[in-house]
Amino acid sequence: MAPLVVIAAGSDSDMPHLESIAKELAKFKIESKIRICSAHKQPGRLQALIEEYSKATEPVMMVGCAGGTDALSGTASYLSKFPVVSCPPDGMNNTCLTNPPGSSNAYIMKPSNIAKFAAQLFAHASKDIAAALEASIAEKIDKLEKADAKVGGQAPTKATIKLDQEPVAGPFVVIAAGSDSDMPHLESLQKELSKFKIKSEIRICSAHKQPGRLEALISEYNKATGPVMMVGCAGGTDALSGTASYLAKFPVVSCPPDGLNNTCLTNPPGSSNAYIMKPANIAKFAAQVFAHASKDISAALEASIAEKIVKLEKADEQLVKTARSA
């Protein structure tokens, strides 16, 4: 069955925003379905909806579109076995970014970038989506080259950059950083990923200092025979995530070492990186991305979802027992 994006909203009052996302997804040949289910008003119904889509045999991604305090994305991303990306109708919304560990929703501000991210997520599952993604990547580059030629520019000779890169089969996470000065952050990500049985490697490649090398690196991972995700870890002005996500045929998620970094959120259409602040949530999001591709990752994800719920239920039972015996 074809991959599906569920556009989930807490109200039908934001229908123009939801329809805009559906329209952008259609450009990449991606099927979508709009569902209305409030986390505040219908929490039980939302849980049932998440359970329904978690059983899907096709790859699924949910786009959470809730204004105000976005409880929808946080709740859905804790319970789901598929990735959840927030795209609120009211623009920049910090409540999408500050969820606790376990609520692993990513954040993308622009509907057009939501659509490209979904295409990068589903490219390994659909030849039609992969072809639409390739055309999208090439379109703007071709337009820029023609514009440069029109003003008298000549195409430079492209430097040959060889990388010591072994073929990647996936599922696999590339932790890409612009410097090795943030190694504790990078190693923390790798440690969290290993909890979900996800293989990863750290690569150092600066978008500012080594743009040609970064392009070559993306080109190598684009050849992977299995699903790949990149985590962009650049401080300051995060050119790494924006550059990588424009050129990549796989999803890119920013997790900067300096916490909240608005430069990860304001990239133009085409640079489709998502944003997650906490390493633990990056790892769970990756597990949700890869659950369809690996039984081991899927099992680790299920255990992670259940762990905290069981702990909360036991705590509540203990409090009730204590109150009754008092």
pLDDT for res 81 = 97
Express as a percent the part of the chain with pLDDT over 70: 97
pLDDT for res 261 = 81
Whether 25 and 32 have beta carbons less than 8 Å apart is answered as yes
Which parts of 55-110 fold into alpha helices (H)?
A: 71-79
Whether 24 and 81 have beta carbons less than 8 Å apart is answered as no
Looking at 226-314, which runs of residues are DSSP E strands? 228-233, 252-254, 274-275
Structurally, the chain folds into a number of domains equal to: 2
Asked if the structure places residue 23 within a domain, the reply is yes
Q: Same domain, yes or no, for 98 and 218? A: no
Angle at 249 between CA 243 and CA 252, to 5 degrees: 55
Comparing CA positions, the residue from 84, 125, 170 lying closest to residue 1 is: 125
Q: What is the pLDDT of residues 173-190, one digit of tens each?
A: 999 999 999 999 999 999
Q: What is the mean pLDDT of residues 121-135?
A: 96
Count of H-run helices and E-run strands, the chain: 10, 10
Asked if the structure places residue 269 within a domain, the reply is yes
Has residue 55 got a pLDDT over 80?
Answer: yes
Has residue 154 got a pLDDT over 90?
Answer: no
Has residue 105 got a pLDDT over 70?
Answer: yes
Asked if the structure places residue 317 within a domain, the reply is yes
Q: Same domain, yes or no, for 10 and 115? A: yes
Q: What is the pLDDT of residues 274-313, one digit of tens each?
A: 999 999 999 999 999 999 999 999 999 999 999 989 999 9
pLDDT for res 159 = 65
Look up the CATH number of the domain holding residue 266: 3.40.50.1970
Asked if the structure places residue 326 within a domain, the reply is yes
pLDDT for res 273 = 96
Q: What is the pLDDT of residues 202-231, one digit of tens each?
A: 999 999 999 999 999 999 999 998 999 999
| CB neighbours of residue 188 within 10 Å | 19
Asked if the structure places residue 150 within a domain, the reply is no
Domain that holds residue 48: 4-123
Comparing CA positions, the residue from 52, 46, 30, 40 lying closest to residue 130 is: 30
Amino acid at 94: N
